Amino acid sequence: MAIIKSKNIEKLQPAIIKAASEIKKAIQEKRKIYLRHHADTDGYSAAIVLERAILPLIENKQTRERDVYNYYRRLPSKAPYYDYSDATKDLTNYLADIKRFDHKTPLILIVDNGSTDSDLLGLKKITTYGAKVIVIDHHPAHPKVNDYLIAHVNQHLIGVENDFSASMLASEVAYELNPKIENPALLAAIGGIGDRIKSSELNDYIKKSNNSKEFIEILADCVDFEAHTLGFSDSRTLVNDLFGADKKKQSELISVMSDEMKRRKLTAFELAKTITKTQNTKNAIIATVDNSQVSERGAYPGVGKTTGMLFDWLKHEKQKPVIVISHNESMITLRSSHDKFKANKIIKKLQDTLPKGLISGGGHDVAASIRFSPLIKKEVLEKVIAYAKKC
């Protein structure tokens, strides 16, 4: 049973069924579910579609409505991985629940995070005290991650790279878990568009959603704007209304956000264009931009969004593979359309050659970030540019 027909989803079906059955089992056993998700459009879309599948099943097990949220909690994460601090917060919360309410160890459901080597430390910590962990993610999967999981849904495990967003995978799990869920294809499409996925599967979700691509693009941008503003707050009612729980409120929210969001994006984009430096090599355009000059820290649009807009513009203008290197004093954000550029490869190389540089990061090979000590920014930037030129 799947929302759309796809050979890749058929291959993922055993993992999807396993994840859904483990969630159902946790509900039957009255284990609390902590749903951790990346605080961006894809992460929110993935979390909300799962939430809409899970909550009715928990409600069926409770005699009082107010008890439902004793067994469920949704928690956004700003980091693009299951950070050690997130694991510590979850651990602190559930140990308190066990002591006060005699709860069982919980199920930690990590969405749009959880698969990479950056997630390992958090996973090790949370499972030390007996938590059961499921990951639904579309980032490259580290082979050791499965040692800490009871289920793992990730297209990289079947040899597929960039065809799926986390929301597309989570929608299939949600539909397997609760087929009565309303229009899971829409939430799959919102996250897929928000994460810039290009695949036949995404096109099928858009068609299945019975909404225009233009409307979904606007909605994905609004979710991105709201996610940036909310930070760590789950803001249950506001987020659900934005995702269409109340259609009238959804329309009003889009109207409120749309003009201001467009104005801020255009301002940041026009400024970024004026300070971008480009090198025209034989096989690609290499663009560098100091994003600390574009906007204040914490302002919308964030570094990733501005870098993405710049990347799209350069691809369209230059009609050639593009590598964008957007930097500030302690982070580089990468976007690439060059098939030989592998972001995770340069991150590993930097960690090996600059072991004292506090280098971390990851993501996709075509879209990733690197963090480092400000003391070695010059060396890191030089090595990333040199690697781009080699490509």
Where does a domain end: 254, 289, 318?
254
Specify the pLDDT at position 33: 96
The beta-carbon contacts of 287-293 under 8 Å, at least 24 apart in sequence, are: 287/314, 287/322, 287/323, 287/324, 287/325, 288/324, 288/325, 288/326, 288/327, 288/381, 288/385, 289/324, 289/325, 289/326, 289/327, 290/327, 290/328, 291/326, 291/327, 291/328, 291/333, 292/328, 292/329
Is 264 part of a structural domain of the chain? Answer: no
Domain CATH number, residue 350: 3.10.310.40
Both 103 and 197 in one domain: the answer is yes
Is 33 part of a structural domain of the chain? Answer: yes
Both 348 and 209 in one domain: the answer is no
pLDDT tens, 272-317? 999 999 999 888 999 999 999 987 777 899 899 999 999 999 999 8
Low-confidence ranges of the chain (pLDDT < 50): none
Phi, psi of 286 (to 5 degrees): -105, 120
Taking CA atoms, 294 is separated from 79, 184, 224, 261, in Å, by 21, 37, 19, 16
Is 81 part of a structural domain of the chain? Answer: yes
Angle, to 10 degrees, between the axis of helix 184-194 and the axis of helix 166-177?
A: 170
Query: If DSSP codes are grouped into helix, strand and coil, which group holds residue 182?
Result: coil
Phi/psi-derived region of residue 141, left when phi > 0, alpha when psi is between -120 and 50, beta in every other case: beta
Both 247 and 346 in one domain: the answer is no
Range of the domain at 51: 7-254
CA 224 – CA 163 distance, rounded (Å): 21
Whether this model's pTM surpasses 0.75: yes
332 forms bridges with which residues in the sheet?
327, 370
Helical (H) or strand (E) element with 33: strand 33-38
Cβ contacts of 307 within 8 Å, gap of 6 or more: 289, 291, 324, 326, 333, 334, 335
CA 15 – CA 235 distance, rounded (Å): 30
Both 177 and 314 in one domain: the answer is no
Cβ-based neighbour number of residue 354 at 10 Å: 16
Both 197 and 322 in one domain: the answer is no
Is 265 part of a structural domain of the chain? Answer: no
Q: Dig out the tokens for 176 from the structure.
A: 């397997």
Both 50 and 191 in one domain: the answer is yes
| Radius of gyration of the chain from its Cα atoms, rounded to whole angstroms | 21
Is 76 part of a structural domain of the chain? Answer: yes
Both 249 and 284 in one domain: the answer is no
Cβ-based neighbour number of residue 266 at 10 Å: 12
Is 270 part of a structural domain of the chain? Answer: no
Query: If DSSP codes are grouped into helix, strand and coil, which group holds residue 150?
Result: coil
Both 246 and 342 in one domain: the answer is no
Q: How many domains does the chain have?
A: 2
Both 249 and 282 in one domain: the answer is no
Both 118 and 171 in one domain: the answer is yes
Is 267 part of a structural domain of the chain? Answer: no
pLDDT tens, 135-194? 999 999 999 999 999 999 999 999 998 899 999 999 999 999 999 999 999 999 999 999
CA 388 – CA 391 distance, rounded (Å): 5
CA 175 – CA 2 distance, rounded (Å): 7
Question: 145 with 128: CB under 8 angstroms?
Answer: no
Is 271 part of a structural domain of the chain? Answer: no
Both 242 and 281 in one domain: the answer is no
